[in-house]
Structure 1
Amino acid sequence: MNRYERSVVGLLRRVFRSSIPGYLTLLLGLASVGSVFGYASESMYGVAHGINRIAYWHVPIAVVGGIALTVTFLGCVLYLVTATRFWEQLAHASGEIGFVFVTLTLVTGSVWGRVIWNTWWDWSDIRLVTFLFIWFIYAGYLIIYSGAGGSGSVSRLASVYGVVGFITVPISYASTRLWTARLHSPSVGNPETEATITASVLLVSVIAVLSLYVYLLGSRVRVRELSARVDSLKHRTTTETQKPMGDD
């Protein structure tokens, strides 16, 4: 590990061990809930319904889920280049959180769509289908990684998979602009969109979910580092115990 890499890793560890992300998550979470139920518009896509409030968490979870999987991609690349265990732990931890966020995006989107579009799922909608691909790709990443068992070769295989599989993420997020979307029309920079969402409330929720991601990421990385230390101590103890004893 060179000096620059050591500095970056040290900075990230200080952030992860800090209590600030936890407090920010609590404060911003309360602010998000308060603004969604006290200020946000209930009317979207020409429908006035309380279920539209779920959009103020559905969208941030989807956005931050994409960020989490981008961190997984970067962590996999850095691990393959440097072989530093921290990047592998960061990639896997972020992949776990990203997978949970992708799952929540699909669930909340289905609940919201059932009311707004009168359907739980539509196989003709490009955003839904490509996002489901992401779910399967990263389920595979977590399954491969779970079989590593401390093996460097399997960890590298999982990292290669994480790098290659990432291509599905930008494709899905850009899908509504690359192809004609049946349900999900582009909302950013699109004056013809029917989704009238309160931007200030959405911004608060995005920051709140992002803070939650940082807090969860720090917690998972610390757990993985602790687990690695325990495994190392177990291995050292086993090795020392199995050393041949001298003749009496």
Structure 2
Amino acid sequence: MRTFSRQLASLIRLLRWIMWSRVVRWGAFVFGLTSLALIFSVASRTMYGIEHGINLIAYWHIPLAFLTASALSTTFIGSLLYLRYDGRFWNRLAHSGGEIGFLFATLTLATGSMWGRVVWNSWWEWSDIRLVTFLIVWLIYAGYLAVYASTERGSDERFAAVYGVVAFVTVPITYTAGRLWSPTFHEPTIANSSVSANIDPMILAISFLALALLYIYVLAIRIRVHEIEDKIILQKEEVR
């Protein structure tokens, strides 16, 4: 048991080292600039047979959608580890992932609506299974943040952790919905040779890497804010 505890402590130190690495910070900056330069100078504005500048938003929309799943997976894993081992770090990790995942989900919905308005002449389509299931994920994790905000430190935070575990079942559903059921217009873009999206895979990969590194860095900052908040709470309790 002591050996496993030391392994968990080593894992936490490793995660902290990765999140605060200069490679992450500077990588997000360099790849972010490279992504912007390539999108506005090289990427084609023609997708699905329509030429329009809004098509360039695909290079952020698609990575944001996948990173939403990554962030919510962080909430799932952090919640599981918190329930099993009761470590403050796992609780902070879960909530930080949930916040960023909710933000990314919001941006995914917003950019998707703007892109869809031009390409498919519709801001929203209730008959599209991918859109509807993604909206359900957004609503469920809005609920997770509300539950977490209503809990008190060290007392009933396990309710939020249980919610974070159970809520995750909706994530794989929405990411496989486009292939399990026929979408109205939201066809899968990745690994679909029949779609005419005309997306440059290299630029998409660079944009994904830039946003992934940014996610890791923002996650580190949010965890640090949690730690500062905990210290303030402890100091107030000591004063009392």
The TM-score, its normalising length taken from structure 1, stands at 0.93
2:20–2:217: 8 Å Cα contact kept in structure 1? Answer: no
| Partner Cα separation in structure 2 for residue 152 and residue 32 of structure 1 | 44
Displacement of 1:151 in angstroms is: 4.0
Structure 1 vs Structure 2 CA RMSD: 1.2
| Partner Cα separation in structure 2 for residue 152 and residue 178 of structure 1 | 41
The secondary structure found in structure 2 opposite 1:194 is: coil
1:16–1:217: 8 Å Cα contact kept in structure 2? Answer: yes
| Partner Cα separation in structure 2 for residue 111 and residue 123 of structure 1 | 16
| Partner Cα separation in structure 1 for residue 173 and residue 58 of structure 2 | 22
Structure 2 counterpart of 1:166: 168
Q: Does 1:65 align with 2:81?
A: no
Amino acid in structure 1 at the alignment position of 2:184: R
| Partner Cα separation in structure 1 for residue 17 and residue 150 of structure 2 | 30
1:15–1:218: 8 Å Cα contact kept in structure 2? Answer: no
Structure 2 counterpart of 1:115: 118
**Structure 1: which 5+ residue stretches go unaligned?**
239-248
**What are the within-5 Å matches in structure 2 for residues 70-81 of structure 1?**
70-81=73-84
Compare CA radii of gyration and give the structure with the larger one: 1
| Partner Cα separation in structure 2 for residue 125 and residue 47 of structure 1 | 21
Displacement of 1:14 in angstroms is: 2.2
- Out of 6, 11, 15, the position equivalent to 1:8 is 11
| Partner Cα separation in structure 1 for residue 19 and residue 206 of structure 2 | 22
| Partner Cα separation in structure 1 for residue 191 and residue 177 of structure 2 | 15
| Partner Cα separation in structure 2 for residue 20 and residue 143 of structure 1 | 34
The secondary structure found in structure 2 opposite 1:152 is: coil
1:80–1:159: 8 Å Cα contact kept in structure 2? Answer: yes
The TM-score, its normalising length taken from structure 2, stands at 0.96
| Partner Cα separation in structure 2 for residue 84 and residue 73 of structure 1 | 15
| Partner Cα separation in structure 2 for residue 14 and residue 237 of structure 1 | 33
Structure 2 counterpart of 1:193: 195
| Partner Cα separation in structure 1 for residue 67 and residue 22 of structure 2 | 21
| Partner Cα separation in structure 1 for residue 19 and residue 155 of structure 2 | 25
2:19–2:219: 8 Å Cα contact kept in structure 1? Answer: yes
Amino acid in structure 2 at the alignment position of 1:4: Q
| Partner Cα separation in structure 2 for residue 19 and residue 226 of structure 1 | 22
Amino acid in structure 1 at the alignment position of 2:234: S
**What are the within-5 Å matches in structure 2 for residues 1-248 of structure 1?**
2-153=5-156, 155-238=157-240
1:17–1:218: 8 Å Cα contact kept in structure 2? Answer: yes
**Structure 2: which 5+ residue stretches go unaligned?**
none
| Partner Cα separation in structure 2 for residue 201 and residue 128 of structure 1 | 25
Residue correspondences, number: 237
Q: % of aligned pairs identical? A: 47
The secondary structure found in structure 2 opposite 1:118 is: coil
Which stretch shows the higher mean deviation, 144-153 or 2-11?
A: 144-153
